[in-house]
C-alpha cells in the first residue's frame, strides 16, 4: 500500500460511532507504552493540543501529535514535530483494512496510536472529536476539555459538556478552559467527581493581554509571557489550557522546565484559528464553523476596529448554518441573541460590506446557493460558483481586505490559492 492509498483508505471510511472496545482491539502492544493526553471540547481542541505538543517537544520528549481535520491523514499525524513516516502509516492502514472496519474517527485514532507506539513515543497528544474513544487509550494521566459552546445544532451545552467529559479518567488531571458557561462547568464538576478525576480550571483573571501590534497577540498567563500565533481572548484561553496541562504533567513526574513552556507557546504555527496572511491588504483565513467560533472571530475584528471588509464563506453543511451566520453578524450565539432583544438580523454594524457564499471542493454548488438565501437575512450576500471567482469579487468590493471562513476545507483551499 502506498501513502496515497493509505490516505484514500482513511478518507473513504464512513462517519459513525465505534464502541471503545473495538478501538482497543485495534491497538498493538507497543501502544501500551505510550502515555496519551486527550483533548476534547467544542472549540479550541486543535490549538490547545498543538500548543501542548510543542511544549513537550521543547522539553525534549519524543512526542506524537494527532489532530482531526479534512487534510490527508498523513499530514495530521506528526512525530517529533515532523509528519509521520509513510512506512508506519501504511503498515497501520494495511493492518486496519484487513480487520473489521472502524468508522473514520476511530480508525484514524487507531492508526495514529499504532504509529506512536511503533515510533517509541513516550507521550502523545491527541485531539478527540469523539471523547468516548478516550477510554480505549491505555494510559492518560492528563486530559483537557476546551471551550464548550453551541455547535449550531440541537444539542444543549450541558449535553455537549457531558459528552466531552468522556475524556476523564480515574486519578487523571483534567484541565478545562477558563470562563466556561456556568451550566458547562457544573456538568464538568459532577463528571470529574464521578470519574475520580481532578479538575483544574484556569483563572481568567490570570490572563493579561500585553501591548502588541494590530493582529498580533502577546499574552501573560500566571507569569508565562509569550507571543501567540493565535488571536483573541478565546485563543488566550487555549494557551492557558496548554500551560496548565504542562504543569499537570510536571506534577505527574514529567520534567517540563518553564523555558520549554515559553518556547512551545511561541513556536506553534496557527493552522486553525484566525490567521492573518497579509496586513495590506488585510487577508484573514479562519477555519471557524461553529457560532462560538464565529463570535470569537467577530470580537477580534471589532477590537481591531476593522470595517469595510468582504467575507468569503464556505460552509460544508446546512445544519447549523443559520446560527453561524447570525453569530458572524452580531457576535452573539443563539442563546445570547435570545437574551438580547435589541439584536435584529441585518440591522447590526459589522466589519463586512458584502459576503460571498461558495461551495468548498467536494460539496455541491446547490448547498452554497441555499446558504446564500439564509445569509441575505444578515448581510448583502452573493453566490459564487468557485472560490477563485469569490475571491476576485471580494477584492473588487472591499476597501479594507477580505476574510475567508466557514470550514477548514475552504481555508485550506484559499491558502493554496493565495500561495
Q: What is the pLDDT of residue 213?
A: 52
CATH class, 3-267 region? alpha beta
- The values of phi and psi at residue 346, to 5°, are 80, 0
For residue 414, give the H/E element and its range. helix 408-418
Please list the residues that pair with 312 across neighbouring strands: 356, 404
Which CATH fold would you assign to the domain 275-418?
Answer: 3.90.190
Q: What is the pLDDT of residue 211?
A: 53
pLDDT tens readout for residues 181-219: 999 999 999 999 999 999 999 998 888 865 545 666 677
- Asked whether the beta carbons of 120 and 14 are under 8 A apart, the reply is no
Task: Please state the pTM of the whole predicted model.
Answer: 0.86
Angle at 160 between CA 156 and CA 161, to 5 degrees: 115
Among 44, 169, 67, CA closest to 128: 67
Which stretches within 30-143 are classed as H helix?
45-58, 86-97, 104-118
Task: Establish whether domains 3-267 and 275-418 are of one fold.
Answer: no
Q: What is the pLDDT of residue 222?
A: 84
- Asked whether the beta carbons of 136 and 75 are under 8 A apart, the reply is no
Question: Cell numbers 475584528 correspond to what residue?
Answer: 301
Q: What is the pLDDT of residue 346?
A: 44
Instruction: Name residues of the chain where pLDDT drops below 70.
Output: 151-154, 209-217, 228-231, 270-272, 333-348
Q: What is the pLDDT of residue 393?
A: 94
pLDDT tens readout for residues 88-127: 999 999 999 999 889 999 999 999 999 999 999 999 999 9
Please list the residues that pair with 126 across neighbouring strands: 38, 66
Q: Where are the domains of the chain?
A: 3-267, 275-418
Amino acid at each position: 500500500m502506498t501513502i496515497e492509498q493509505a490516505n484514500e483508505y482513511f478518507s473513504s471510511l464512513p462517519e459513525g460511532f465505534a464502541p471503545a472496545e473495538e478501538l482497543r482491539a485495534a491497538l498493538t502492544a507497543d501502544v501500551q507504552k505510550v502515555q496519551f493526553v486527550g483533548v476534547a471540547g467544542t472549540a479550541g481542541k486543535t490549538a490547545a493540543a498543538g500548543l501542548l505538543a510543542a511544549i513537550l517537544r521543547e522539553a525534549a520528549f519524543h512526542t506524537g501529535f494527532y489532530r482531526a481535520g479534512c487534510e490527508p491523514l498523513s499530514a495530521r499525524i506528526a512525530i517529533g514535530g515532523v509528519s509521520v513516516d509513510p512506512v508506519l502509516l501504511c503498515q497501520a492502514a494495511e493492518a486496519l483494512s484487513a480487520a473489521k472496519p472502524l468508522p473514520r474517527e476511530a480508525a484514524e485514532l487507531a492508526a495514529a496510536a499504532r504509529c506512536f507506539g511503533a515510533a517509541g513515543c513516550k507521550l502523545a497528544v491527541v485531539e478527540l472529536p469523539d471523547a468516548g474513544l478516550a477510554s480505549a487509550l491505555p494510559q492518560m494521566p492528563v486530559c483537557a476539555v476546551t471551550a464548550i459552546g453551541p455547535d449550531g445544532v440541537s444539542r444543549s451545552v450541558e449535553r455537549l459538556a457531558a459528552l466531552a467529559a468522556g475524556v476523564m479518567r480515574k486519578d487523571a488531571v483534567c484541565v478545562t478552559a477558563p470562563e466556561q458557561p456556568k451550566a458547562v462547568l457544573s456538568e464538568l464538576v459532577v463528571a470529574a467527581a464521578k470519574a475520580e478525576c481532578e479538575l483544574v480550571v484556569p483563572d481568567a483573571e490570570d490572563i493579561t493581554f500585553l501591548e502588541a501590534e494590530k493582529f498580533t497577540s502577546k499574552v501573560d498567563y500566571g507569569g508565562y509571557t509569550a507571543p501567540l500565533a493565535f488571536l483573541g481572548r478565546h485563543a488566550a484561553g487555549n494557551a492557558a489550557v496548554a500551560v496548565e496541562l504542562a504543569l499537570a504533567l510536571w506534577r505527574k513526574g514529567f520534567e517540563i522546565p518553564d523555558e520549554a513552556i515559553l518556547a512551545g507557546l511561541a513556536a506553534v504555527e496557527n493552522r486553525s484559528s484566525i490567521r492573518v496572511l497579509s496586513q495590506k491588504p488585510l487577508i484573514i483565513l479562519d477555519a471557524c464553523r461553529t457560532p462560538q467560533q464565529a463570535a470569537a472571530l467577530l470580537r477580534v475584528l471589532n477590537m481591531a476596529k476593522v470595517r469595510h471588509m468582504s467575507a468569503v464563506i464556505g460552509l460544508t453543511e446546512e445544519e447549523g448554518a443559520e446560527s453561524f451566520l447570525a453569530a458572524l453578524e452580531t457576535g452573539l450565539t443563539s442563546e445570547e441573541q435570545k437574551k438580547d432583544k435589541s439584536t435584529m438580523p441585518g440591522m447590526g454594524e459589522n466589519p463586512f460590506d458584502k459576503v460571498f457564499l461558495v461551495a468548498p471542493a467536494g460539496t455541491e454548488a446547490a448547498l452554497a446557493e441555499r446558504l446564500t438565501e439564509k445569509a441575505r437575512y444578515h448581510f448583502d450576500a452573493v453566490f459564487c460558483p468557485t472560490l477563485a471567482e469569490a475571491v476576485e469579487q471580494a477584492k473588487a468590493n472591499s476597501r479594507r481586505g477580505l476574510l475567508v471562513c466557514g470550514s477548514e476545507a475552504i481555508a485550506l483551499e484559499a491558502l493554496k490559492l493565495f500561495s
